[in-house]
Structure 1
Amino acid sequence: MVEKLKHLLAYALINLVRAGWGGLASIVSIAVSFVIIGIFLLLIQHFSALVTEWKEQLQVSVFLDDQITPLQLDMLRRRIENEAAVRTFTFTTKEEALASFRRELKGQESLLEGLGDNPLPASYQLKIREGYQSPEALKGLSAFLSRLEGVEDIQYGQEWVERIARVAQLIRLLGVIIGSVLTLGSAMIVSNTIRLAVYTRAQEIEIMRLVGATKAYIRAPFLVEGMLQGSLGAGLALGVLFAAYRFVAPTFNVASPLFPTAAGQGFLESSMMAGLVGGGAVIGALGSALAVSRFLKL
């Protein structure tokens, strides 16, 4: 079995070299498609890191009624402590809220002169677990907390959370559409290249059929050749992407003060790179299968 695979691989390499500029053009065309796919994967990876960072900073603010009793405050704390969606929480008194507000004014504290009683409420700030950061989960948590005694208001930036969720869905949808189109295009490129190779070796194939070779035996070398073209194209695309990334990342890393996690992301994850090369091989095999099947039906 191993010897047969080695023979197929050697035969496919010889045929790929025989294809000359046609085979090289096919590999380069596949590489261009995979460069575009790789760029999109990089954008998705960095955007996902950015969304993760934003979600880590997400908090739900539970503002308390000024008339809340110590018993109600203790019961509320227990309810929050036992809530599955809450990762951690902190309590801010009215006095701490006012002191924090004064610090934020930065030299404009005179605006608070004559304010009288402290108008800021005490509050709980809740950090949310990863599985409960969707708009639906936050809306449910907000509705639950707002019904508890002593709670005056709930704020968690609903519009901002929903906007982030919509953008993430749009990015994923675009990724599926662009990836599907480029995958189909790559398969057609390989199919056309292999079809030319099949017609070039038509006499050889006919002789193989006359001596009793099965369709699977005839198809195997072309499938391996297509897989080689696809994987070489994807590998070339990864090399181009990596070189471009190493050159561009240090120069245009201007977003790091605003988005430190996303800016600190490296190149594509190893699973993504393996997926690209494997995907190239699968696309190459698919294109070859289409070309050979059409020829064998004639």
Structure 2
Amino acid sequence: MSSSFDNFQKRRLISSYFSVVLSVFLVLFLLGILGLFIINSKKLANDFKENIAMTVFFKNEANDSIVKAFGTQIKASPFVKSYTYVTKEAAAKEHTDIIGEDFMEFLGENPLQNSYDIHLKGDYVIKDSITKIEAGLRKNTMISDIVYDKQLVNLVNDNIKKVSMWILIISGFLAVIAVLLINSSLRLSIHSNRFIIKTMQMVGATKAFIRKPFVMRSIKLGMIGAVLAVLALIGVLIYVETSFPNLGILEDKAMIGLVLLAVLGIGVLITWLSTYFATQRFLNLRTDDLY
């Protein structure tokens, strides 16, 4: 009978430990994913904005030296990410491939112009900056027109602001849930030992002495959950880098390392604080209240 009861207690204890580790792992994994997304959100936003091209068209009287000089100018410009020179012949061929017929046959000439497709750095793809850049380029009298999707630029920046705001809200919400879930799991674990805590207190053990083994055990469980979360996050990073190498998600190793260390630190901190206050609660209860 005693052996059967002991086995039941062991199973219940193991189940309690497992629930704590699982809670810590799931919560820290989600927080870690959110942290990685936040540190890469600017890179993702810039990657999208840098795909928006600004096309600069030259007048027909602009000779090769003028066009090449413009290329040298924008190459040295701090706002240029990349650029491509497109001759009017190459543009005509591209249009022919798109529409499926040679439009020059019935026009008799090529109406297109030599141009540069300029991709700006993400930080400059905002309304004020791009307007100043456009105004500066238009000072060149050999430029006939500058074309880019103004509505798309405004839409992208507005949506990035909205997404950033929601990320902050979700981060705060998840942080609260993380504390509550882990705290709840640890309190349930300690609740099953409330009679042992009170018995130790009644025979003269100090609060610090009683609290120490519970805190150390919880920290160990928190570390296990945190390490599992870190390993899972590393797996996600490797998968994303392999599947989407253009994102360069592993470039900022310092920030990634900081997020992973933060996950470990949060795992230890939350389990320590939750266990401290949970044991303190049972230490302060009267014996009659334990039932």
Tell me how far 1:76 sits from its aligned partner: 4.3
Distance change >3 Å, CA 265–CA 82, structure 1 → 2: closer
* Secondary structure in structure 2 of the residue aligned to 1:285: helix
Aligned to 2:140: 148
After TM superposition, the structure 1 = structure 2 runs for residues 46-85 of structure 1, keeping only pairs within 5 Å, are: 51=45, 53-55=47-49, 57-68=51-62, 76-77=70-71, 79-85=73-79
Distance change >3 Å, CA 293–CA 68, structure 1 → 2: farther
Aligned to 1:126: 118
Provide the TM-score with structure 2 as the length reference: 0.65
**Structure 1 stretches of 5 or more lacking a match?**
1-16
* Secondary structure in structure 2 of the residue aligned to 1:83: coil
Does the alignment pair 1:232 with 2:217?
no
Q: Distance in 2 between matches of 1:242 and 1:87?
A: 30
Does the alignment pair 1:283 with 2:270?
yes
Counterpart among 94, 102, 108 of residue 101 in structure 2: 108
CA contact (8 A) 1:88 1:126 kept: yes
Q: Distance in 2 between matches of 1:291 and 1:40?
A: 28
* Secondary structure in structure 2 of the residue aligned to 1:84: coil
* Secondary structure in structure 1 of the residue aligned to 2:54: strand
Aligned amino acid, residue 275 of structure 1: A
Of 65-74 and 168-177, the range deviating more from structure 2: 65-74
Distance change >3 Å, CA 165–CA 283, structure 1 → 2: farther
Aligned to 2:246: 261
Aligned amino acid, residue 274 of structure 2: G
Q: Distance in 2 between matches of 1:144 and 1:205?
A: 79
Aligned amino acid, residue 29 of structure 1: S
Distance change >3 Å, CA 172–CA 281, structure 1 → 2: farther
Q: Matched residue pairs, number? A: 265
After TM superposition, the structure 1 = structure 2 runs for residues 152-191 of structure 1, keeping only pairs within 5 Å, are: 152-191=144-183
CA contact (8 A) 2:49 2:156 kept: no
CA contact (8 A) 1:89 1:126 kept: yes
Per-residue CA shift, 1:236-259, capped at 9, x if unaligned? 44566788999xx79xx9xx7xx6
Of 287-296 and 186-195, the range deviating more from structure 2: 287-296
After TM superposition, the structure 1 = structure 2 runs for residues 198-237 of structure 1, keeping only pairs within 5 Å, are: 199-200=194-195, 201-205=197-201, 207-209=204-206, 221-237=213-229
Of 68-77 and 157-166, the range deviating more from structure 2: 68-77
* Secondary structure in structure 2 of the residue aligned to 1:153: strand
What is the aligned-residue identity percentage? 23
Q: Distance in 1 between matches of 2:276 and 2:134?
A: 55
Counterpart among 16, 28, 35 of residue 22 in structure 1: 16
Aligned to 1:6: none
Aligned amino acid, residue 91 of structure 2: A
Q: Distance in 2 between matches of 1:89 and 1:190?
A: 52
Distance change >3 Å, CA 90–CA 265, structure 1 → 2: closer
When the two chains are superposed, the root-mean-square deviation of aligned CA atoms in Å is 4.5
Per-residue CA shift, 1:21-50, capped at 9, x if unaligned? 334323222333334445556777887776
Provide the TM-score with structure 1 as the length reference: 0.63
Q: Distance in 1 between matches of 2:284 and 2:146?
A: 68
